[in-house]
Structure 1
Amino acid sequence: MSAYIHPTAEVSPQSSIGEGTSIWNWTKVREGAEIGVNVNIGQCVYIDFNTEVGDRTKIQNGVSLYHGVTIGSDVFVGPNVTFTNDLIPRAHNNDWVVSKTNVEDGASIGANATIVCGINLGRHCMVAAGAVVTKNVPAHALVAGCPARIVDYVTITGKRLCVEDVTSPPESHQLDDKEVG
């Protein structure tokens, strides 16, 4: 199954779009962007040059993925999530350097969260809606607030573990509740 690109979307012919991917109205995909298979990209999304998006990822409306952001597979990016790529933003700075952000496989980011550049969101972590993430988030951590702090841990399917001491990650067997077969 080939990709679906809405007629109002602007997709560079120098980008790579995987089979089964849907790109909806008023979305822009720049040159060198690599988008995996079976990705769903909502309306009014901006994907900057040389940005990578893994397989089976869902990017909701109003998200901008700037140069330096890498999104893994099976990631959920909620509506209006904001990513940055400049740690010292100044309009007059012509020598700024991209600070890379990596979102690992299975992560979920809630609506209107802000992800400050230069950090890593770990596998299957969950960022609460409206959180402002300024530091790395470990695998399976649930973070919330401004600035975001670990409030719990979640399983692969997103169930909260209600961990009393969030400074000690749970055992790996507690995190894998994914049904087999």
Structure 2
Amino acid sequence: MTAPACLGPPVPGGRPRVGTLCEVSAPRRDRPDPLPRPENCLVNVRIVASADVDPTATIGDGTSVWHLAQVRDGATLGAGCVVGRGAYIGSGVRIGENCKVQNYALVYEPAVLEDGVFVGPAAVLTNDEFPRAVNPDGTAKSAHDWTAVGVTLREGASVGARAVCVAPVTVGRWATVAAGAVVTRDVPDYALVAGVPARRLKWVGRAGVPLEDAGGGVFRCPTTGEVYDEHDGVLTRRASADEEQDA
């Protein structure tokens, strides 16, 4: 995961740290005045006025944070990300470059999203293995009464609308979690999982399209032509001729 470019301390007025190119949306009659515009700031980062972005959050160049979204303290978003309307990014969550967190998705700390991850509308990444509002003695639980556990989404992974990833789990590289699935165990690279609890149905390639079985443990992407090999339930992508040449 690449760190966001051009970071700095919070700008005057306690606004979040942002990339050097930044824009805060103009006011409308039905909402308060916009956030103060950071100094030395142009047009690449967009944080709309109704978004709640903590001053200690780090926002990468080219990232947009849309209406009613909340980005908590210490969260890091890489370059080129989109945080949709009403989405929640928890304290200290780490998000790589070119990720999309769609409307009303909930990403609880200490989740980690690598580069190119997609989190669909109203999807949830949980952080409590044994949730309770109170202790056995009836006292209200506090932040010190439990330990947060995280969901990790590897490079290129996609989580469909209203899916739930129950921490602690890891969704592998370029894997796809179908809409409405409940993930309770780790998902292998390139797997398509669905259902409650989620189970692998097929393999998918980097294009997200189900792979065609060519026989003998060989799979081919109908969109890109990439070839994959399966051994003992693990799928790997064959390097292209260009990649082999570069190596």
Partner of 2:233: 168
Give the corresponding residue for 2:245: none
1:119 and 1:147 map into 2 onto residues whose CA distance is 13
Q: Determine which of 191, 194, 219 is the counterpart of 1:144.
A: 194
CA distance in 1, matches of 2:146, 2:188: 28
The answer on whether the counterparts of 1:152 and 1:162 sit within 8 Å (CA) in structure 2 is no
C-alpha distance in 2, partners of 1:169/1:20?
35
Q: Give the match for residue 88 of structure 1.
A: 130
Gaps of 5+ in 1: 177-181
User: CA RMSD for the aligned pairs?
Assistant: 1.8
Bigger mean CA offset, 30-39 vs 158-167:
158-167
Which residue of the partner structure matches residue 7 of structure 1? 49
Tell me how far 1:173 sits from its aligned partner: 2.0
Q: Is the 8 A contact 1:153 1:169 kept in 2?
A: no
Offset at residue 170 of structure 1 (A): 3.8
What TM-score does the superposition give when structure 1 sets the normalisation length? Answer: 0.91
CA distance in 1, matches of 2:156, 2:83: 16
* % identical equivalent positions: 38
1:14 alignment partner, SS class: coil
Give yes or no for contact 2:176–2:204 (8 Å, CA) kept in 1: yes
Number of residues of Structure 1 aligned to a counterpart in Structure 2: 175
Q: Greater Rg, structure 1 or structure 2?
A: 2
Instruction: Say if 2:190 is the partner of 1:130.
Output: no
When the two structures are superposed, what TM-score results if normalisation uses the length of structure 2? 0.67
What's the CA shift string for 1:56-84, capped at 9, x where partnerless? Answer: 00110001111111111101111000111
Instruction: Between the two structures, name the one with larger relative contact order (CA 8 Å, sep ≥ 6).
Output: 1
Distance 1:10 1:170, change over 3 A: closer
Amino acid at match of 2:200: I
Report deviation, 1:159: 1.8
2:128 counterpart of 1:78:
no
